[in-house]
Amino acid sequence: MASAVEGKISEGIKNALESVVSGREEYYSKNPLPSIGDVKSLISSCSYKNAAISGGAGLIPGPWGMAAAVPEIIAIVRNQMAMVADIAKAHGKTASNELILDILFGASGNVATGLVVVHGQKILVKRAGARVIQKIVAMLGGKITQQLAKSMVAKWLPVAGAAAMATWSKISTDKIGKKADFIFSKQIEYETVTDELTQINDGATQMQLAAEDLKSAYQDLAQNANIVKTKIQILINLMKIDGKIEDSEMVHLQDFIESAPLSNQDQMQLIEQLGSKEKVMVDYSVFKENFDESLALAIDMIALANADGNFHVTERMFIKNVAKTIGFDESDLNELLENGIK
């Protein structure tokens, strides 16, 4: 299911990339150009538009939610690309395929495509051939699929999940807009190479991307079990924090533990921790400087706290303390909280 969704999202990104830049060029040939003073409103408008798309589609995390809303996910990405192109125009520049993909790929703080290098006040852009662009599009499709699949709790609680995902769309779009504003505020230079060197660089870049993809896959395998286990431990502590454990919360967490990609030993340990009255000792380091996982954790904490329809003040304080510990942006959390308790 997930691989099929990833393929459809990647294909949608490819088609959007081919049409967005030319479409925005045509639009601005007939309409006034935006200015630097318009950048904040461009970001805000796109962020709220994408939040409305997520909310209106009832988009929830997990493969089934994504499969039902692939057109909406692609529409969100298309809007983000158009916003990047508009921000480029506001700075008197044009957004190339390389810049658009790099900004979308790296806005959450992860290592980006390697096609864009920041040197002080200059941005050096490496030209990429069709094969490299295709590879990056596929990687971006995989990244978006992984982002939407990270939530464990919200996908089983559609109302809370849909509200949280609307905020996810807004936060993600806002970060992309700010990254674009930063990039296009710099002097941009494109690497000039001959056709022969372009082919050589294409091959080298493909090898680099393949190596990074493989390295990332190994790292994901190694880190995923640790992240999942730590997340469940945090959710166990959240469940206990208000002094009253609801049956629905207990059932949800038991299901998560049994279905989690963990060893039998880890699952047994979590079941014991779930049944104990003691607080679980947690190592939060796996979430620090990891925006995607931190956002998924915040969504899951809010969804679980709101599962019984009673968002207790102690649960809110616990969530805020966890967010502060892992370095999750306070304003982003407040937006999630506002949507999660409605």
pLDDT tops 70 at residue 119: yes
pLDDT category at 113 given cuts 50, 70, 90 is confident
Determine the Cα–Cα distance for residues 316 and 180; give it in Å rounded to an integer: 33
Residue range 183-239, pLDDT digits in tens: 999 999 987 654 444 443 555 555 455 445 544 443 444 457 788 899 999 999 998
Alpha-carbon torsion angle 91, 93, 97, 100, nearest 10: -10
Specify the pLDDT at position 68: 62
Specify the pLDDT at position 217: 41
pTM: 0.74
Q: Is 92 exposed, middle or buried (0-12, 13-18, 19+ CB in 10 A)?
A: exposed
pLDDT category at 26 given cuts 50, 70, 90 is very high
Pick from 6-10, 55-59, 88-92, 307-311: least confident: 55-59
Which structure tokens are listed for 136?
């990056």
* Distances 111 to 108, 187, 205 between C-alpha atoms, Å: 9, 21, 15
pLDDT tops 70 at residue 153: no
Residue range 34-54, pLDDT digits in tens: 999 999 999 999 999 988 887
Residue 122 or residue 196, greater confidence: 122
Residue-range domains of the chain with CATH: 2-217 (no CATH), 222-340 (1.10.3680)
Can you say whether the dihedral through the CA atoms of 191, 192, 195, 200 is positive or negative? negative
* Distances 165 to 23, 268, 309 between C-alpha atoms, Å: 28, 31, 18
pLDDT tops 60 at residue 84: yes
